[in-house]
Structure 1
Amino acid sequence: MPGNGGSAVFENIAALDIGTSAVRLLTARTGLRNFQVTGLSIEDISREEGDGPGDAVRRAIARLLAENDIRGCTVLCNLPMEKAIVRNIAFPFSDAEKISAAIPYEAEENMPFSIDELIMDFQSLRSPRSDEARIMLAATPIEAVREQVALLDTTGLRPFRMGLEANALFECYRYFNRIPDENIIQLDIGHEKTILVIAGGGDLLYTRCITGGFGAVHREIAAMNRCSIRDAQRLFESLNLDLTSIENNYQRDFYKTLGLNRSKLKKIYDRTISLVEELVEQVVLTLRSFSVEYGELEYGRVLISGGGANLAGVGHLLSRELELPVAALPFLQGYPEQAIQTQFPIVFGTMLSYLNARRHSVNFLKGEFVPDLAGGSRKIYFLATAFLSLAALIFAVNLAVSTFLNYRTGSHYTKEINERYMRYFHARQAVDDPLKAALAQVNEEKKQLSAIDVLVQPGDRVIDLLSEIVSKFPGDPDFQLTNLVINEGIARIDGQTSSSKIIDDFKNRLVDTGRFSSVDLNTNISRKNEIGFSMVIKQSGKKTPAREQAE
């Protein structure tokens, strides 16, 4: 039988489900990648006059242990849901460390007990919003765990893990489910409580324990017939009540063989119908509360389990009231008995929760209750240790081979980089660090480029200014240029010509371009046919440097 992850190889497991009316035991053996269920057993909890707390449960467990040898097994159990306080909490962040640090403060606000009196654990839940994290915080009084551990200890059992029944119920659904991404409601209808689970997309989203089960009907039968609760329970189970119609029960006449008349049958029928209606009312209220927190979901079906699922017509009533298809929770095909199909999903899920999600789901065995793993249980891990040693050896060999290959690859890489460095940078010989040498050379080129950029300003560049002035030079051969200085958009030209008209025409051509804010001309006659000139040309939009303005 395949598992969904497994925890330890060749491990013997004994999972217990201690209910109100019966104790169920599942034994299994794990392999490398699977597990095999080796036994399923159930014992009724028969209470006797004068019993103290837990006496009937101890007797039931003792009868199970007399028929099943679970020495050397890893013992798993659950804390009954009615003893747990479960709260869903949303955080505006998803960091696990921050959530762990914030939980004590949230617990003080959400729990009706002092946190010093509680054992708490939490597990992550899927959130409909990406900017928040949801958790399920579960807590119980320390004394409740102490009583449960002490009860098992008197029978010679020491639990390795104490989980939450809701997680076990969900894990059973997840194991057998073949419909991807569906939203479902699970109802495990028991003797004194009903466990409700909302699951979606393969994740547990919400859970609640609804107080009330068919034990209320048993008590009413016991009062009506003046018999024990156990006898009333047997009568109710033998009656095989059909909830679809009271007439169906009248027509069968079977109730008469149980010593019931029509009036008593009608009372039993009405009380059972009333119980189902109360359950439906609580389910509807829970769904509304959940939708406020999580958002609306479209549910595909309702899956029922527990002793209450054996009642004929209970699925029909739930389907009619909830307006959803109702089916039995799928279970092991090799066990056709109806009692096993309906009453063993939680104990089966207890094993699955340990194998698949023990690090991610609630566990109440903390602090003083952490089990001692020394002694016999250590033998379970001998083979795991051998595999770990082999893995370490393989890792060492792989590390040595990787080091050698990295050295060869590095040498080839260095050689290739050096060849490219010598080719691209015209180097004559290889260097120790070609990348560093290339980077230094590139930085030097950048410095030289920066120096050129300082000389040749961006925008209205010197070359553009010079080109514009030169294009207007006179074509006369007597025009001679003796000096040209350009500084920040201002050009000064010194020279000589044979005629003042030539230099005046040159000035006018510059002014006509409209690209210069001013063109100032000074001339002097040094000798006949030789006129010296000095011209200052200011480019538009440029200010005269402060130094030259002062002059």
Structure 2
Amino acid sequence: MKRKILGLDIREDAVSAVLLACSIKRTEIEAHLYVPISEPEDFESGLAAALETIIKKIDVTAAVCAASFPADRIFYRNLHVPFKKENKIRQMLPYELEPALPIAVDELIIDFHSLTLPDQADHTELIAAAIEKTELESYLGILASLNIEPEIVTVGGYPAALCLTRLIDSPEDLLFLDIDHCKSSVFAVVSGEICLIRSFPIHSDNSSSAAEALCIGIRHTCAALEEIYGLDFQPAGLFVTGCGLDDPSVEQDLARTLQISAERIDLANAAEIASRHHSGQPWDPHQMDNALALALMEAERLSGLNFRRGPFAAKKFWSEHKASLLKTGLIAGLVLALAFFNVVLGSYFMGKELVRLDRKINDIFTSTFPDVKKIRHPYQQMQAKIKSLKTTAALPEGSGKNIRAIDILNDISRLIPKEIDVNLTRLVIGSESVMITGDTDTFNAVDDIKNRLEQIVFFKKITITSANIDKAESRVSFQLKMYL
């Protein structure tokens, strides 16, 4: 059975949606859509209209949803804590963040991303991310009004950076740039870990000024990273994506200014995700990568930032499906009751059938062995009687051997194959020996028959007492004597 996952990448001016179909054999893109927000000034109504368009064109029934929140609306802080256990970190996180945030921590939902870096045996480096409760509540309310209940709500661009480090063969140290039309986010990766997140605006009307603004933001991010961690950060490359990548030369401008290689990513191609969706809207990687990354984050169970916590935690399975489960349980109970009744009824009729069969066995036994007056265990008594009768078919008394004539005949018949041209004209079974008289086509056949009959365990010795040619019939007449 395929598992459907909907990735919703929500930005200030557009929404991207990717529906993944995941099975044991493969993961493929079932549908995708990019919808600009028609009224960016009124974000909530524009978002609701864009989502309505998506659910009309994409069947999201029974799909698990993972959604993102615009990265510039989130607070980021890098922390160094002397704890390893997650529960302890969560307990102290509000106290550590409170002095560094412009809003009271009671008004925020906070999550963190732990880093696994060299030389941190006695402490934990982490990125904390916080979002205002009122904004998250409004955001989830819009989704809920359209029956969309995301399991994950995370930072825009973060899932793509996570997939770049976890699912794709990429350098250990790199920069990932997510470009919107008016804002951008930079994710600095050190030793395969996302170590710093920064969002900044792009105020420019031409591509060269936009590239300059991006380079300034990237340089500031790298400087902050080096100051926080005390290292010389030398990224092996810059990877870019985002719906603001309208200028085809932006990566060349970035590479020339920053003096590092820069390239656009194509997540579907890099992660080998096939598409079986053929809609009028073509697949544009820089528009769809972030939505695809959200779906892959859920599909691949990648742990990361998720604001569905505290009062905004996703509904537990029981509370969400309570009515359906109770209904299913009632039906299952009725089925079990009917099955139990069927077993009881079957046992009753089986008991009656056993009584009938016992009577029939007694009748057969009485008619077969009328001399037996006491019948206690008819099956065992019948076995004993049959065994007694079989002994009467054995060799004559006085032989001292319990060898049945039928067994001798069976072995002779079994060991002489049909391919041998032989006629057995006489068989005499005595107490000490067995005599066979017959004729065949050659003397070799006589020897062959003798050799084959020597395999019978009853015979101690076999001799050819006579073997003569019958000239009239051109046959070899023979006689074998087998000693018991």
Amino acid at match of 1:143: T
Residue equivalent to 1:150: 141
1:347 to 2:339 alignment: no
Higher helix content, 1 or 2? 1
2:176 maps to which of 183, 186, 192: 186
Change (3 A) 1:377 1:363: farther
1:199 to 2:142 alignment: no
1:356 maps to which of 300, 303, 307: 300
Change (3 A) 1:376 1:209: farther
Residue equivalent to 2:152: 161
1:91 to 2:26 alignment: no
How big is the shift at 1:368? 2.5
Q: How does 1:220-235 map to 2 (within 5 A)?
A: none
Question: For each residue in 1:480-512, what CA deviation from the matched residue of structure 2 results, as whole angstroms up to 9, or x when unmatched?
Answer: xxxxxxxxxxxxxxxxxxxxxxxxxxxxxxxxx
- The whole-number CA distance in structure 2 between the counterparts of 1:310 and 1:321 is 19
- The whole-number CA distance in structure 2 between the counterparts of 1:60 and 1:151 is 11
Amino acid at match of 1:12: K
Change (3 A) 1:96 1:45: closer
Q: How does 1:38-53 map to 2 (within 5 A)?
A: 38-47=30-39, 52-53=42-43
Residue equivalent to 1:514: none
* SS of equivalent residue, structure 2 residue 234: coil
Residue equivalent to 1:81: 71
- The whole-number CA distance in structure 2 between the counterparts of 1:378 and 1:124 is 38
Question: For each residue in 1:295-344, what CA deviation from the matched residue of structure 2 results, as whole angstroms up to 9, or x when unmatched?
Answer: 11221111111133341221121011111011111322357998621121
- The whole-number CA distance in structure 2 between the counterparts of 1:82 and 1:280 is 18
* SS of equivalent residue, structure 1 residue 312: coil
How big is the shift at 1:93? 4.1
Residue equivalent to 1:292: 227
1:22 to 2:14 alignment: yes
Residue equivalent to 1:140: 131
* SS of equivalent residue, structure 1 residue 129: coil
Residue equivalent to 1:57: 47
Residue equivalent to 2:311: 368
Amino acid at match of 2:210: L
Residue equivalent to 2:447: none
Unaligned runs of 5+ in 1: 1-8, 218-270, 383-551
Q: How does 1:242-321 map to 2 (within 5 A)?
A: 271-294=206-229, 295-321=231-257
Check whether the contact 1:307–1:339 (CA below 8 A) recurs between aligned residues.
Answer: no
Question: For each residue in 1:326-379, what CA deviation from the matched residue of structure 2 results, as whole angstroms up to 9, or x when unmatched?
Answer: 111132235799862112121111122223345x31211122222333229989
Check whether the contact 2:159–2:293 (CA below 8 A) recurs between aligned residues.
Answer: yes
How big is the shift at 1:184? 0.9
Question: For each residue in 1:19-46, what CA deviation from the matched residue of structure 2 results, as whole angstroms up to 9, or x when unmatched?
Answer: 1222111111222475332111111212
- TM-score normalized by structure 1? 0.53
- The whole-number CA distance in structure 1 between the counterparts of 2:323 and 2:253 is 48
How big is the shift at 1:52? 4.5
- The whole-number CA distance in structure 2 between the counterparts of 1:154 and 1:128 is 46
Change (3 A) 1:202 1:26: same
- The whole-number CA distance in structure 2 between the counterparts of 1:30 and 1:326 is 32
Check whether the contact 1:176–1:331 (CA below 8 A) recurs between aligned residues.
Answer: no
Check whether the contact 1:14–1:25 (CA below 8 A) recurs between aligned residues.
Answer: yes
Q: How does 1:379-418 map to 2 (within 5 A)?
A: none
* SS of equivalent residue, structure 2 residue 164: helix
Question: For each residue in 1:430-449, what CA deviation from the matched residue of structure 2 results, as whole angstroms up to 9, or x when unmatched?
Answer: xxxxxxxxxxxxxxxxxxxx
- TM-score normalized by structure 2? 0.60
Q: How many residues align?
A: 313
Amino acid at match of 1:15: G
Amino acid at match of 2:257: E
Check whether the contact 1:185–1:302 (CA below 8 A) recurs between aligned residues.
Answer: yes
Question: For each residue in 1:266-299, what CA deviation from the matched residue of structure 2 results, as whole angstroms up to 9, or x when unmatched?
Answer: xxxxx33122212211110110110111211221
Q: How does 1:476-495 map to 2 (within 5 A)?
A: none
Change (3 A) 1:338 1:278: farther
